[in-house]
Structure 1
Amino acid sequence: MLFDAENIAPAWVGPVLGEVARHGIASIKRAYGDWTRPDLRHSKEAASEHVVQPIQQFQNSVGKNASDSALIIDAMDILYSGRIDAFAIASSDGDFTRLAARIREDGIPVLGYGERKTPSAFRNACDQFTYFDLLEGATPARERDGATKTSSPGGDAKLVALLRAAVLATADEQGWANLSPVGQHVRKNAPDFDSRNWGFARLSELVKATERFHIKTRGTTIVVADKALVP
């Protein structure tokens, strides 16, 4: 778990670590910045509270982000050590796009976390990208903007097209698809996809709310079918 401390607010350290815990144990937790800067005082406190190792990197040249370089070098050292199963990078900086792509070239998944202003190149370079405002403890984006989950997601053409393509790609001969592979397919095509963007905690709830798909349970498995293709 690598934090770009000069790029993110200290308040997000805890929520990010909580989200990462859903995927596994963060055996390495580091935060990069010039910790002599007064404005990073609260970031240092957050790192200490959550047992994140602060990595000091002095800003030796104006206009050059030495902390970014230090994070990238350490990431490659960790990658070559061969002792991790996934990377998590918390930053809204597009400069980490190539790093994420390079890590994935070695077959290691990359989880990204950042603000909505994060460049699409970095978001798409990750296997999964989660916005800060969707993390537990944050005010959901749609509630913050005055929207609620009573608004029909079925009117979101981009969302419906994304879900339909995923169902079609993973469906059996009868047109039914297991929801888990559907979610995986969607993530591959849209790493920043998250049902919480529409105010739903689970993908199944979002799919049902679109009113464009049949959804039912087979044993313990949730399956879906496109109403346009399966009567």
Structure 2
Amino acid sequence: MDTGSNTKLAVLIDADNAQPAIVEGLLAEIAKYGTANVKRIYGDWTSNKLRGWKEHLLQFSIQPIQQFGYTTGKNATDSAMIIDAMDLLYTERFDGFCIVSSDSDFTKLAARIRESGLTVYGFGEQKTPAPFVAACDKFIYTEVLRGEEEPDEEPSFKRMSTNELKQDTKLVRLLRNATEASSDENGWAHLGQVGSYIAKQAPEFDPRNYGYRKLGELVQAIKLFDIEERSTGQGHAAAIYIKDKRK
């Protein structure tokens, strides 16, 4: 998954299905993965329901795409986003797409974009259906993006205690499997490789979902792994390695 600054991204936002309160955190998160060359947001801008979004469009240079509600519901908006996404895909100018919605209607779109070899980042609320989450390379719950512009603020998700983390069998299994798959013959695994393995297995995984900002903090809190810092020399930051305590 390419996360370099030269990575060109197309950002498509479903205004009917995303809250304007996330906009700063959303764009800051997207900047971690590349440059948003296109930023479009879809909805019926004649409606007062999108008033909150209107205040942010000029400030963050997001292009509004008008889509009248010809029928009851928001299917018209979804269709416009999907058509635009395919048009942008065929230009072959982008390395990845950011789809901002909690709607399962974009599951097939995400899968189609990935079939073309591009990376798909999904952004939606925790209620987002599992098929859409699984169709993305990485999925970020938008609850963690509120207040991201204030680094000193507490994480949006409640910080889970060591006992709570250990009781989360899915999390424990995910961390242990990733460590085993990334480990050397002595059982030690580079934390970065562990994180890469987890990203491939669980697109929705994010330490912030458990109240921790970094994977290292989460691993330390769960207390199921030995942690070792190894000097890389030449003034570089120390490399972090972990090992399952059962080994």
Residue by residue, what CA displacement relative to the aligned partner does 1:87-128 show, whole Å, maximum 9, x if unpaired? 111111110011011111111111111111110111111111
Equivalent in 169, 172, 179 of residue 184 of structure 2: 172
Amino acid at match of 2:203: P
Question: Whole-Å Cα distance in 2 between the matches of residues 155 and 212 of structure 1?
Answer: 12
Aligned equivalent of 2:166: 154
Q: What are the residue-to-residue correspondences of 1:1-231 with 2, within 5 Å?
A: 1-63=11-73, 65-135=75-145, 137=147, 140-143=155-158, 148-152=159-163, 153-219=165-231, 220-229=238-247
TM-score, length of structure 2 as denominator length? 0.86
Instruction: Say if 1:33 and 1:67, in contact at 8 Å, map to a contact too.
Output: yes
TM-score, length of structure 1 as denominator length? 0.92
Amino acid at match of 2:189: A
- Displacement of 1:171 in angstroms is 1.0
Instruction: Say if 1:11 and 1:46, in contact at 8 Å, map to a contact too.
Output: no
Further displaced range: 119-128 or 132-141: 132-141
- Displacement of 1:2 in angstroms is 0.7
SS, match of residue 118 in structure 2: coil
Amino acid at match of 2:243: A
- Displacement of 1:45 in angstroms is 1.9
Structure 1 unaligned blocks of 5 or more? none
Residue by residue, what CA displacement relative to the aligned partner does 1:9-48 show, whole Å, maximum 9, x if unpaired? 1112222111101112111000011111121122122222
Question: Whole-Å Cα distance in 1 between the matches of residues 156 and 169 of structure 2?
Answer: 19
Amino acid at match of 2:211: G
Question: Whole-Å Cα distance in 2 between the matches of residues 162 and 226 of structure 1?
Answer: 12
Instruction: Say if 1:96 and 1:122, in contact at 8 Å, map to a contact too.
Output: yes
Residue by residue, what CA displacement relative to the aligned partner does 1:146-191 show, whole Å, maximum 9, x if unpaired? xx34443223221111000001111111111111111111111111
SS, match of residue 227 in structure 2: strand
Question: Whole-Å Cα distance in 2 between the matches of residues 78 and 94 of structure 1?
Answer: 21
Amino acid at match of 2:47: R
Structure 2 unaligned blocks of 5 or more? 1-10, 149-153, 232-237
What's the C-alpha RMSD, in Å, of the aligned pairs? 1.6
Question: Whole-Å Cα distance in 2 between the matches of residues 11 and 71 of structure 1?
Answer: 21
Question: Whole-Å Cα distance in 1 between the matches of residues 120 and 156 of structure 2?
Answer: 23
Instruction: Say if 1:154 and 1:209, in contact at 8 Å, map to a contact too.
Output: no
SS, match of residue 113 in structure 1: strand
Residue by residue, what CA displacement relative to the aligned partner does 1:175-231 show, whole Å, maximum 9, x if unpaired? 1111111111111111111111121111011111111111112223211111112xx
| Matched-pair identity in % | 51
Amino acid at match of 2:225: F
Instruction: Say if 2:155 and 2:213, in contact at 8 Å, map to a contact too.
Output: no
Amino acid at match of 2:96: A
Instruction: Say if 2:143 and 2:157, in contact at 8 Å, map to a contact too.
Output: no
